[in-house]
Amino acid sequence: MTGKLPKSLRIILPLLIGVLLIVLLYRKVDFDVVQETLREDVRWWVIVLSCLLGPLSVLFRGLRWDLQVAPLRAVRDGSTLTASVLHVQGSYAVNMVIPRLGDLWRCSSMQGYSGLPFSRLLGTMIAERAVDMITTLFLILPGLALNAAYFTAFLRHHVRIPSPTEGPAASPLTWLLLLLAAGLGVYLIGRVTRRLRLRHKLRKGWLNFLVGLRTILEMDRRARGLFLLYTVGIWSCYFFAFYLTFGAFSFTEQLGPGVALVIFSLITISSILPIQGNIGPWHFVVIQSLIFFGVAADPAASFALIVHTTQTATTTIFGLAAILLLPFLREKSKEK
C-alpha cells in the first residue's frame, strides 16, 4: 500500500490543488448567470470551431515530431508518421491523469512501436520543447512590452515576491548546508553508479540522448522549413483557439486580439504548473484578466468554465481515441 502512495499522490495532489482553486474562484459566483449564459449567450458554432483547432494543433505537433523521429530509423520508409501523430495526440489524454507524464509515455510507447531507443526519443522530445520555449518567449515578450501596465498591476495584486533579505534564504548557513547536501548527493550517486556498474549503460543512453537532441540541427533545408511551418501552425492554432472564443459571447466580442494576446501570454505562463489540464490556474488567469478588461465577474467566470471545459474535453477525447487506435496500428505494422 505504501509503495502505491507516491504514485497516487502524483495523480491526486495536483488535481486537488486545481479543484481547490476552482472552488475558491467559483464560491461566490451566481450560477444562475452561468445557466443564463449557457442558454442564451453562447454561439456554439464558434465554440465548436475553437475546439477543433485544439486537435489540429496536436496534428501539427505530431507531424513536427515525425520530422525528428523518422531519420533515426535505419530505413526511412515513412512508417512512423501515423504513429508519431497518434502518440502525440494520446499524450494529452495521459497528461490528464498525471501531469507531464504524457511526453514520457509517448517516448516509451513509441520505443515499443519503432524499436528506437527511449533515450533517443527523449532527446527529440526535449529538443522540440526547447523550440516551444523559445517560441513562447517570442509570443510573451510583445504582450509584456505592449501591456506593461496590466502585467504590473496583475503581479502587484496577485503575486508577492519576497525580498532576498527575508527568511532563511538570507542566511549564509542555509547556503552552506545546501552546498554540502549537493556535494553529498553527487558523491552518493557516483558511488551507486560505480557499484551497480551502470556507467556503460548511462554512457550509451547519454549518447543516444544527444543523437535525438541533434535531430533539429541535422535536418536538411526542406525538413527545417517544414519544422518551422508546423511550429507556426501549432502556436497559431493555440492562439486562435482562444481568441475565437471572444466572439462566442456578447460580453467579450468587443475585446480585440491585443487583449487576447495578453491573456494568452498569462495562460501560457500558468501552464508551467504541473496540474492536469491547467485546471484552476487557467480559470484564475482568465477570470481576473477579463475583470481587469471590463467584464463583470459572473460572466467572466461563465466564459472560463465553458471555454476550458469544452476545449479540454475535446482534446482529451481525441487523445483517448488515439490511444485506442495504437494497438491496431501495431498489429498492422507486424503484418507487414
Separation between Cα atoms, residue 60 and residue 285, nearest integer Å: 26
Q: In this structure, what DSSP letter does residue 98 have?
A: S
Write down the pLDDT at residue 37. Answer: 76
Residues of the chain with pLDDT > 90: what percent? 23
- Other CB atoms within 10 A of residue 94 CB: 22
Instruction: Tell me: pLDDT of 160 over 70.
Output: no
pLDDT band at 162 (very low <50, low <70, confident <90, very high): very low
Instruction: Tell me: pLDDT of 333 over 70.
Output: no
Instruction: Tell me: pLDDT of 182 over 70.
Output: no
Q: Which of 238, 236, 221, 207 is nearest to 67 (CA)?
A: 221
- CB neighbour burial string for 253-290, b if at least 16 within 10 angstroms, e if fewer: eebeeebbbbbbbbbbebeeeebbbbbbbbbbbbbbbb
Q: Specify whether the CB–CB gap between 309 and 26 falls below 8 A.
A: no
Q: Which of 134, 131, 326, 124 is nearest to 210 (CA)?
A: 124
Q: In this structure, what DSSP letter does residue 216 have?
A: T
Q: Which of 313, 268, 310, 312 is nearest to 286 (CA)?
A: 268
Separation between Cα atoms, residue 238 and residue 228, nearest integer Å: 16
Instruction: Tell me: pLDDT of 294 over 80.
Output: yes
pTM: 0.75
**Residue 334 vs residue 20, higher pLDDT:** 20
The domain locations on the chain are: 31-160+173-335
Q: Which of 334, 69, 108, 10 is nearest to 223 (CA)?
A: 69
Residue pLDDT, tens place only, 269-290: 888 777 777 788 888 889 988 9
| DSSP-assigned letters across all residues of 8-25 | HHHHHHHHHHHHHHHHHH
- Other CB atoms within 10 A of residue 309 CB: 13
Residue pLDDT, tens place only, 47-83: 999 999 999 999 999 999 998 888 877 555 456 788 8
pLDDT band at 184 (very low <50, low <70, confident <90, very high): low
pLDDT band at 125 (very low <50, low <70, confident <90, very high): confident
Q: In this structure, what DSSP letter does residue 183 have?
A: H
Separation between Cα atoms, residue 128 and residue 216, nearest integer Å: 8
Q: In this structure, what DSSP letter does residue 273 have?
A: S
